Structure 1
Amino acid sequence: MDRRGELMFERLASLPLEIEGYTLERLTGGERVTTLLRLQGRGEEGFGEDLLQMPGEADPIEVPADLPLAGSWTLESFLDALGGMNQWVEEPPEEWGDFAARLRNWVFESAALDLALRQAGVPLAAALGRDEPRPVTFVNSFGLGDPPALDRLRATIELYPTVGFKLDAAPTWTREVIAALAETGMVRTVDFKGHYGLEIEGDIAPVYEAVVELLPEALIEDPHEGVDGLPLERVSFDAPITRVQDIGDTRTINVKPSRIGSLRRLLEIYAWCEERGVAMYGGGMGELGPARRQIQLLAGLFHPDGPNDVAPPPFNLPDPAPGLPSSPLDVSGPPPGFRLK
C-alpha cells in the first residue's frame, strides 16, 4: 500500500467494532431496487447498501442473512475476516468476474466503517485527520434516448441552472445534437462506456470527432480502445479503475468506492492521486439510500470540485422535480460515522 494511504488506513484500523447482529431491507426508487444492510451493536447502526441488481430483473442478488458477523473486533480484523466469508446465497453470473465480489464486499466494509465510527463518536473526516468536507459540485447523469432528445436536459437546466451533466454517448448522436449540447454550456463529461464490453450498433467515430471539437471543456470518459487523437488531458477512466496499478499515466479518474470494493484500496487510490496530481471525481452505481450520501461525503473530503456523478437520487427519475438540492451540495457538519446529517 502507498505509504500515505497506509497512514490513512492505520488511523481507522484499530477502531473497536462491536457487532451484535444485522438486518436487511429493500429500497426502491423507480425501476431500481437495492438492499440496505443495518449492522447493529452497542445501540448504534452502521449502514451499507448492496447494489447488485441484474439487468432487467426486479430484485437484487440476495445478501445472506446468517453470516457470522457478531463479535468483538477491530475494524481491521473485521475487514480481514470478511475475506474468508461466503457472501452469497447464490453465486453471481460467472461473466461478472470479481466485479460482483467487490460490490458485495463494499456493502459490509462501508457498514462496518460507519458502525465503528458511530461507536467511537467520531466523524470520518476527524478520524482521517482531514479538514471538514467542502461543498460538492455534482452532475446529473443519463442518456439522451433513441432518437436523442434534449427535453429532459433542458427541463433540468430550467430548474437547476448550476447542475452540469454527464451524458452517455451513442452512435445516434449527430453533429447537430452535439452542437445543441454545446449551446447549453452545461456538459461536463461524455461517457463512451468503452470498457463495459458493450457492442456498438453504428459508427461512433464521428461522435468522438464532434465531441472533441464542439465540447472542448468536457471530459471523455472510458473511450474505446483504438480511438486515436483524443487530447490526453481530457480523457478519464472509470470502469478499469479498481486499484492504484490500474491508473497508469491517466490524468483523471472516476473513483467509485463500490467498484473498488475495499477501504484499503480506496484510501490508497486517494493518496496516490493526491501525491501525483491526478484529478479525481466521484461516481455512483445507482445508490438509493445511505450509500449515495457516503459517496457524497467522500467527494466532499477528496474531490469536491470535480464533476462528481453523485447527484441526489431523485435526479435519476425520468422527469426533474422541483425542490431538490442544487450544486454545489452542502455536506458540512457531518455527524459521527460514515454518513451525512
Structure 2
Amino acid sequence: MKIKHAELYFTEMKLIEPFVSSLEKVEMRESIIVKAVTEEGVTGWGEAVAFSSPWYTEETVQTVFHMLKDFLIPLIAGKEFSHPKELGPLFSKLKRNYMAKAAIEGAVWDCYAKEHEKPLSAMLGGTRSAIEAGVVIGLAPRQEMIKKIDAHLSEGYKRFKVKIKPGQDVGLIREIRKEFPALPMMADANSAYTLEDIDHLKALDEFSLMMIEQPLAADDIVDHAILQRELQTPICLDESIVSLDDARKAIELGSCRVINIKPGRVGGLQETVNIHNYCMEKNIPVWCGGMLETGVSRAHNIACASLPNFSIPGDISASSRYWEEDIISPEVTVKNGKIQVPEQAGIGFQVDMKKLDKYTKHVFAYQM
C-alpha cells in the first residue's frame, strides 16, 4: 500500500451546548480531518483531535497542521507499506506529537481495512458486534446536571462520567447519588487536585464510584500510586498515559486500577491495541475516552471499543449528543444504550462531502 495523495480539512463546528470541565469551556470545536488516498484509489479518513489551545495536552490544531504538513506526511510520501503498524517505528524519530501521528495513522488504517474489504474493528482484533455507550456530564448548576443525567438515562446510556473540580466535587456527587442511588457513575477531575487533597478525595469513597479519573497532575504516575494506596475507589489514568511504556510503568507502580485509552492521545490505533493487549494480560480493564470528536474519530473509537478488554462503556455517545449534524453518514446512534459496530469495510461510515465542505474553513492538499 502506498499513499499518493493527502488532504487536510480545517473544520469548525459549534457544539449543541458548551462543554465545561475543570480546565476549559469549549463552545466551538476546531478539528483537522485527514483524507488519504492510495495508489489504487482507496480513500481513508482520520481526525486530529487536538483542541484550539493547549489545555488538554501540549498539542493544538495549529501544531498538528505543522507536524502533518512539514514532517509526518513527507515521511510517508512515496513509501510502500504492508501494514499500518510500520508507521509507528517510522514516526518514532519525531518526539511526541501523538495526536498528529494518530490523525494520519488512522486514515492509513481505514485505507488498509478497505483494501482488505474488512471492517476496521475486525482488523484491530475486535470481537463485539455492539458496544455499550457512556456519556459525559460537564460542569453546570447541579439541578441542570441532574436533569441531563435523567434525560440520558431514559436514552439508555450505560455509564455516566461526571466532571468535578474543587468546590464542585463531594457535595455534587452526594446530591447526584441521592437522586440516582444505582447510577453507574465515575468522576473525572482532569488533574484538578494534589496530594494535599488526599483526605478530601477519600470522602468520595462513600459513593461507590466506578472510578475517579486523573485526579492529579497530567504527567504524573508517582503521586497517583501514593493516592491509590489511600483510596478504595479505583483511580483511572487518562492524560498520564501516552504510550505502552507509560501504561506498563503505571501498572507496575500501582498508580491505577483502570486506564482510559484515547487513540489520539496515545498516537494511534496500533498503540491503542498494544496498550489494550498489555492491560488485558495484567487484568487492568480499559475503556475508550472521547475528545468531542466528529463522526470520523468516533468511528475509530467504536472500532477500538469492540476489542475484548474494553470492558467498561466508553465516552462514545450518539452524534446528536454534540452536533446538530455530523459529517458522517449514517450518524452514530444509540439504541437501548448500545452502538452497533459497523460491518462495512473500513470505518463503516461515509464522510458526507457536502457537510464536510460546509464546516471546512480551508483545505491543504499534499501530492506525494
Give 1:1-341 correspondences, 5 Å limit: 17-27=1-11, 28-30=13-15, 31-41=28-38, 42-55=40-53, 60-61=61-62, 63=65, 64-65=68-69, 67-68=73-74, 69-71=76-78, 73-74=80-81, 75=83, 76-83=85-92, 101-128=97-124, 130=125, 132-145=127-140, 149-157=144-152, 159-173=154-168, 175-182=170-177, 183-184=179-180, 185-194=182-191, 208-213=201-206, 215-224=207-216, 225=223, 227=227, 229-231=230-232, 234-247=234-247, 248=251, 249=254, 250-316=256-322, 324-326=333-335, 328-339=337-348
Please state how far the C-alpha of 1:38 moved relative to its aligned partner.
0.7
Contact 2:133 2:334 in 1 (8 A): no
Please state how far the C-alpha of 1:312 moved relative to its aligned partner.
2.7
Once the two structures are superposed, residues 15-62 of structure 1 have per-residue CA deviations (whole angstroms, 9 ceiling, x without a partner) of: xx13220112233242112111110122221111012222399x9316
Once the two structures are superposed, residues 174-225 of structure 1 have per-residue CA deviations (whole angstroms, 9 ceiling, x without a partner) of: 655322211323242101222xxx578xx96675244211x21421112334
Once the two structures are superposed, residues 243-286 of structure 1 have per-residue CA deviations (whole angstroms, 9 ceiling, x without a partner) of: 23323233211111111104443222111112221111111222
Contact 2:49 2:291 in 1 (8 A): yes
Per the alignment, residue 3 of structure 1 pairs with: none
Moved more, 271-280 or 184-193: 184-193
- CA gap of 1:122–1:72, structure 2 versus 1, over 3 A, is farther
- CA gap of 1:242–1:131, structure 2 versus 1, over 3 A, is closer
Please state how far the C-alpha of 1:166 moved relative to its aligned partner.
0.5
Aligned residues: 299
Please state how far the C-alpha of 1:121 moved relative to its aligned partner.
1.7
* Distance in 2 (alpha carbons) for counterparts of 1:317 and 1:236: 28
Once the two structures are superposed, residues 84-132 of structure 1 have per-residue CA deviations (whole angstroms, 9 ceiling, x without a partner) of: 68xxxxxxxxxxxx65x0111000111111112212222234435x464
- CA gap of 1:317–1:190, structure 2 versus 1, over 3 A, is farther
Aligned-residue Cα RMSD (Å) equals: 3.3
* Distance in 2 (alpha carbons) for counterparts of 1:205 and 1:251: 17
* Distance in 1 (alpha carbons) for counterparts of 2:201 and 2:139: 16
Q: Which runs of 5+ in 2 are unaligned?
A: 16-27, 217-222, 325-331, 351-368
Give, as a single letter, the amino acid of the residue that structure 2 aligns with 1:237: L
* Sequence identity (%): 19
Give, as a single letter, the amino acid of the residue that structure 1 aligns with 2:49: L
Contact 2:260 2:288 in 1 (8 A): yes
